[in-house]
Amino acid sequence: MNKKFLYAGIGLLLSCTTFAQKQDKDAVKFSAVINKDVAYKHLSVLASDEYEGRETGTRGAWMAAEYIKNQFKSFGLTGPVKDNSDPYFQPVGYSSFPVIGNVVINGKTLESGKDYYFQNNSVSSKGTSLQSASILFAGYGISKDGYNDYEGQNVAGKIVMVFATGDPTVAPAPAPQPGQQARRQPIAGPTANKVKYLLDNKAAGVILINPILDNVTPQLARMINGNPILTTAERLKNLDAGAQLPVLNVSTAVANQILAAANLNVEGVKGAITASKKPSTQLINVSINAQASKKEQKIRAENVLGFLEGSDPKLKEEVLVISSHYDHIGLVADPNAKDKVNNGADDDGSGTTGVLLVAEAFANAKKAGKGPKRSILFICVVGEEKGLLGSEWYGEYPVFPLKNTITNLNIDMIGRGDAAHPDNNFVYIIGSNMLSDDLDRIGKEANNTYTKMFLDEKHNNRTDPERFYYRSDHYNFAKHNIPVIFYFNGVHDDYHAPGDEVDKIDFPMLAKRSQLAYYTAWMLTNGKDRPVVNKDADGKLIK
């Protein structure tokens, strides 16, 4: 017998026989709305092509926010944000700092976004300039045993041009497909080492010959300035952290204009260096006059909040937060792609659908006089794909005091499955025992009593190689010492790809996993005591 499934079976047996209790008839009654048909109704809208992949700061994300808000309102949830014209929206301080540049080489003005772009974090908010009557071409910009583009050269005070990628002493990597690098920082890995060498040796600036500019897609044109950031005071302090050496990326065509002054071109010089394994470093008499500056541009982004006040006067100040992220990664960068929308049906249209299902169930219970004793905040956050930004913002500017927040149940990807669970009757739970053994017990008791799935804890640790504990919005509650459970179905071949479509969703399992979150929430909001935090940030018992 395969050990993986043997252990899974043992885990299921244990989870179905431990802590079982009598079902609450009211909890079961109001769970009826958490079903596959209602799930399909929501997800077929949120993950439709019309919503354009819901990228933060775009029309599709704003449409999704409006849809979620209108659903919350229709359920009877209130908007709890007091300092905004729309109480269902918590504006997130999200801004981009695009570089405005002017580059003239040998008297010819270049076109930003087509011929060149400045590396965003290399430009100071106070402005950056590059001026010289010559440019030092240093081939691949490599300095190592056996090959040194800088042998006999003093780069101090010079503007140095090098190939952004490549090493003539090793076999070349496969060429990227059009648009493939659109979501990566253009400076990374070996390229960063090339720039660091020039910084350490006091060069005046760097020109990177970057082939990413040879095929600029509309998506890439929006992204080459780098991801926008939260405009918190701490983030703004670091805005100029990398602005020690100006880095200008240019296209192959621009590089050829520069090299032409020395009767060279990119293809020829690469071939010569590769054939001889010898550098081709030389000073080229070409003038450059470039200036760049940053200017903040605020981006519309909002968390969507719906509030259900608790029924018990003594307990309603305590708040359970149930969350998902409604944003995804937007449109496909490749203009030739047949499918141009990253629909994000599973990631995280499924989790957002789950939040809507649970919200409606609790709202129905309250209308019938069976509402939870503690309050519930349903929050669909923005900017998760940009670095958990929406939940980070809520953690810094909470609508309800964090000390009153008893738990966060976070739902991120519950509509599919993975190869390890062919019957798909499972969910990964992450974080449940990290801070509170009480929460772990309650979550498992809810499953054993009502949903009876296999709760896979493979990723439920801080040393998981995939680091899932740190990769979704629950973490921005856990870091504030709030117990969390993250419900997750694992990654699949369509993760962050156009294939993450509605027609691949297992709606019965989406509903069942949502029911687990609902029943766990029912027990948390109606229980005698809130979960005790009995472990520290390292998982050690608090004495």
* Mean pLDDT (the chain, rounded): 91
Dihedral sign (CA 168, 171, 176, 181)? negative
Residues paired with 289 in a beta bridge: 104, 131
Residue 187 has a pLDDT of: 42
Q: Give the residue-averaged pLDDT of 502-531.
A: 98
Confidence of residue 236 (pLDDT cuts 50, 70, 90): confident
Residue 226 has a pLDDT of: 66
Q: Is the pLDDT reported for residue 470 higher than 70?
A: yes
Q: Structure tokens of 463? A: 């040393």
Between strands 375-381 and 405-411, the pairing is: unpaired
Residue 170 has a pLDDT of: 83
Q: Give the residue-averaged pLDDT of 272-286.
A: 95
Residue 478 has a pLDDT of: 98
Q: Is the pLDDT reported for residue 30 higher than 50?
A: yes
Q: Is the pLDDT reported for residue 19 higher than 60?
A: no
Q: How would you write 427-480 as a 3-class SS string? A: EEEECCCCCCHHHHHHHHHHHHHHHCCEEECCCCCCCCCCCHHHCCCCHHHHCC
DSSP, collapsed to helix, strand or coil, labels residue 507 as: helix
Confidence of residue 219 (pLDDT cuts 50, 70, 90): low
Residue 215 has a pLDDT of: 84
pTM for the full predicted model: 0.84
Distance CA 41, CA 37 (A): 6
Q: Which residue has the higher pLDDT, 238 or 503?
A: 503
| DSSP secondary structure code for residue 172 in this structure | P
Spatial CA neighbour of 134 closest among 196, 193, 205: 205
Distance CA 393, CA 92 (A): 6
Residue 181 has a pLDDT of: 39
CA distance readout (Å), 324 to 106, 354, 382, 409: 53, 8, 9, 9
Confidence of residue 28 (pLDDT cuts 50, 70, 90): very high
Contact assessment for residue 441 and residue 531, using Cβ atoms and an 8 Å cutoff:
no
Per DSSP, the residues of 348-394 read IIIHHHHHHHHHHHHHHHHHTT---SSEEEEEEES-GGGTSHHHHHH
| DSSP secondary structure code for residue 268 in this structure | H
Residue ranges and CATH numbers for the domains of the chain are 3-92+301-526 (3.40.630.10), 96-297 (3.50.30.30)
Which of 143-152, 327-336, 423-432 is predicted least confidently? 327-336
Contact assessment for residue 96 and residue 300, using Cβ atoms and an 8 Å cutoff:
no
Residue 178 has a pLDDT of: 43
DSSP, collapsed to helix, strand or coil, labels residue 87 as: coil
Contact assessment for residue 534 and residue 483, using Cβ atoms and an 8 Å cutoff:
no
Distance CA 117, CA 114 (A): 8
Tell me the per-residue pLDDT of 124-149, one tens digit each, with 9 for 90 and over.
988 999 999 999 999 999 999 999 99
Which of 113-122, 157-166, 169-178 is predicted least confidently? 169-178
Residue 169 has a pLDDT of: 85
Q: Give the residue-averaged pLDDT of 268-282.
A: 95
Q: Which residue has the higher pLDDT, 274 or 180?
A: 274
Q: Is the pLDDT reported for residue 437 higher than 70?
A: yes
CA distance readout (Å), 281 to 8, 168, 210, 395, 437: 61, 14, 18, 52, 64
Tell me the per-residue pLDDT of 69-122, one tens digit each, with 9 for 90 and over.
999 999 999 999 999 999 999 999 999 988 999 999 999 999 998 999 999 889
Residue 8 has a pLDDT of: 38
**Residue with structure tokens 């045993």?**
145
Tell me the per-residue pLDDT of 358-373, one tens digit each, with 9 for 90 and over.
999 999 999 999 999 9
Spatial CA neighbour of 300 closest among 90, 157, 522: 90
Per DSSP, the residues of 274-288 read HHH-----EEE---E
Q: Is the pLDDT reported for residue 50 higher than 50?
A: yes
Q: Is the pLDDT reported for residue 374 higher than 90?
A: yes
Q: Give the residue-averaged pLDDT of 217-225.
A: 68
Contact assessment for residue 71 and residue 356, using Cβ atoms and an 8 Å cutoff:
yes
Question: Where is 53: in which H helix or E strand?
Answer: none
Q: Give the residue-averaged pLDDT of 29-38.
A: 98
Q: Give the residue-averaged pLDDT of 519-532.
A: 98
Tell me the per-residue pLDDT of 375-430, one tens digit each, with 9 for 90 and over.
999 999 999 999 999 999 999 999 999 999 999 999 999 999 999 999 999 999 99
Q: Give the residue-averaged pLDDT of 517-529.
A: 98
Percentage above 90 pLDDT, the chain = 80
Residue 239 has a pLDDT of: 86
Cα torsion through 73, 75, 345, 475, rounded to 10? 80
Confidence of residue 184 (pLDDT cuts 50, 70, 90): very low
